[in-house]
Amino acid sequence: MGVPLDDTWIHFQFADNFAKGYFYQYNPGEPTAGTTSPLYVIVLGSISFIIKNFIVSSIFISALFHFLSCIFIYKLSLLIFESEYSPLKDLKSAFSPKFISLMIAMLSVLAGRFTWSALSGMETTMFTFFCIAGIYFHVMNIQLRKFNLLPVVFLALATVSRPEGYLLCLLYFGDTLANLIKDGSFKRYFFKLLSAVGIFLILTLPYLIFSYSISGHFFPNTYRGQGGGFSILPNTEYLRIAFTYFFRDNLITGFMLMISIPFYIINFKKYFSKFRSVNLIFLWLLILPFAFSIFIPNWRHHVRYLIPLIPFVNIITVYVLVSLMDGNHLLRLKSFIFKDQKRFACILIFSFVYFTVFAVALGKNTDNINSQQVKLAEWVHENVRRDETIALNDIGAITFINKNRIIDMAGLVTPEILRYRTYQLDVNLDSTNSLLKKNNVAYIIIYDNWYKEFLNKYKDNLTFVTSAVLEENTICGGIEMKVYKTNFNTKE
């Protein structure tokens, strides 16, 4: 058995230490803001008292939340298509809201990347579920023209599952405020709205404060470690790759997604009428990819940070498809698609190709991690003393399996490395080397192509020992990961 990401093993180490009383510490005794999912660390650490095997428990958790997400995407779809704002009411069709909602749920079930995430042992499906549940109760409030605290509770839990939740909560509060003002009930629910803000802050502020007190930054180290920053112009290559993956999830929904964006913008004036129940979902789909393209355009691991959007893509694309059939413009297409349920259900066929592709990818990705990181972890277990410190650029499996103290060459749990990146190259290299010497690093396990300048400058202090080479690299940072023995006594 295994998991398809070294990041999952990183969660194992954080959760294992958390269960032992080392709260948010990767090396025991060294607090670090190195996880982007503080809630998942708590959940996984708590489950470890019942299920000792972290691989089993992590896959159980991610699969469970995947199952719950598929149920709630059906419930959310039903809420939208049964409402007074449903486009089905204007479409003379025998299709019931239950049938349409079932199709949307099945599109989510058959989305290859979404199912891949369900078996990754990561926090992705937990974050997705909290987002769906929060939006579900928000839509219910919108339709009933009332306000309660259930949406903010779920969306706050989403925020401590993934930092993208801050954006969703901002959009939620904006949509809620706009609707309360429109309905003339702002004063009525003012104090309850303040309570919602208070609940959100109570659940989300502690980790922000912890992160700032440890690293001087409110966001976790991973934000800077993965190249996070700010660009005035969006990264078009990121957007191209992201939308290519949405097309691969399902050709029809991918095509409809490209139509849905201008459709919503053109009809934005219907914010409080036609789109009242789906505004928050539209805004979430529009703004999140754009935000990633500006702040952290990282498309690794099958663009996994946008995987939580897949169920919402399915809702909106079907919603827009039904909306476009209202009127006399597309009568032939309308009569063909909506003639019977079997024809409409054919949309599911387009999901099968990449459902199979990602089933294969799951196996290949897991094999990569086992054949490289886990293999070298076993070598460390047999050849390195437990009291020796090692430096790594992939810190998951090797650390969790052996429990050696580590220096993170990528900076996720060793933020000094991130500070050195702001220096000039020579100063950066010297500072990194000094950090390794100061911590008596015995072995360095890295990808050569990540650290060419460092290896060229300090090659006399390093002796190649062994490596793990992949036959086909599908998920790792390099095809060969090498182990070097250090000799800091050599004169530079």
C-alpha to C-alpha distance for 65 and 382, rounded to whole angstroms: 37
- 283, 306, 339 - which closes a domain: 339
pLDDT digits (tens, 9 = 90+) for 50-86: 999 999 999 999 999 999 999 999 999 999 999 888 8
Tell whether 25 is covered by a domain: no
Question: Does residue 316 contact residue 100 with C-beta atoms inside 8 Å?
Answer: no
C-alpha dihedral sign at 55, 58, 61, 66: negative
C-alpha to C-alpha distance for 408 and 59, rounded to whole angstroms: 26
Using N-to-C axis directions, what is the helix angle for 54-81 and 97-109, rounded to 10°?
A: 150
- CB-based burial label for 49 (10 Å; 0-12, 13-18, 19+): exposed
C-alpha to C-alpha distance for 65 and 50, rounded to whole angstroms: 18
- Co-location of 162 and 257 in the same domain: yes
Tell whether 78 is covered by a domain: yes
- Co-location of 261 and 395 in the same domain: no
**Residue numbers in the chain where pLDDT is lower than 50:** 490-492
- Co-location of 234 and 132 in the same domain: yes
- Co-location of 145 and 96 in the same domain: yes
- Co-location of 294 and 163 in the same domain: yes
Tell whether 1 is covered by a domain: no
Q: What are the backbone dihedrals phi and psi of residue 93, each rounded to the nearest 5 degrees, phi first?
A: -145, 155
Tell whether 492 is covered by a domain: no
- Co-location of 45 and 172 in the same domain: yes
pLDDT (0 to 100) of residue 232: 84
- Co-location of 365 and 335 in the same domain: no
pLDDT (0 to 100) of residue 490: 47
Lookup: tokens for 2: 């295994």
Number of helices (H), then strands (E), in the chain: 23, 7
- Co-location of 182 and 314 in the same domain: yes
One-character DSSP codes across 117-175: HHTTTSSHHHHHHHHHHHHHHHHHHHHHT---SHHHHHHHHHHTT-TTHHHHHHHHHHH
Instruction: Identify any residues that bridge with 477 across adjacent strands, giving them in sequence order.
Output: none
| Domain coverage including residue 371 | 358-486
Tell whether 386 is covered by a domain: yes
Query: Letter for the amino acid at 221?
Result: N
Question: Does residue 47 contact residue 57 with C-beta atoms inside 8 Å?
Answer: yes
- Co-location of 187 and 237 in the same domain: yes
pLDDT (0 to 100) of residue 227: 62
- Co-location of 291 and 333 in the same domain: yes
- Co-location of 401 and 307 in the same domain: no
- Going by C-alpha positions, the residue among 424, 458, 425, 423 that lies closest to residue 444 is 458
- 306, 339, 372 - which closes a domain: 339
Tell whether 368 is covered by a domain: yes
- 339, 373, 404 - which closes a domain: 339
Domain tally, the chain: 2
Tell whether 286 is covered by a domain: yes
pLDDT (0 to 100) of residue 297: 87
pLDDT (0 to 100) of residue 87: 80
Lookup: tokens for 350: 């387009």
pLDDT (0 to 100) of residue 338: 67
Tell whether 20 is covered by a domain: no
pLDDT digits (tens, 9 = 90+) for 439-468: 999 999 999 999 999 999 998 899 999 999
- Co-location of 122 and 261 in the same domain: yes
pLDDT (0 to 100) of residue 88: 77
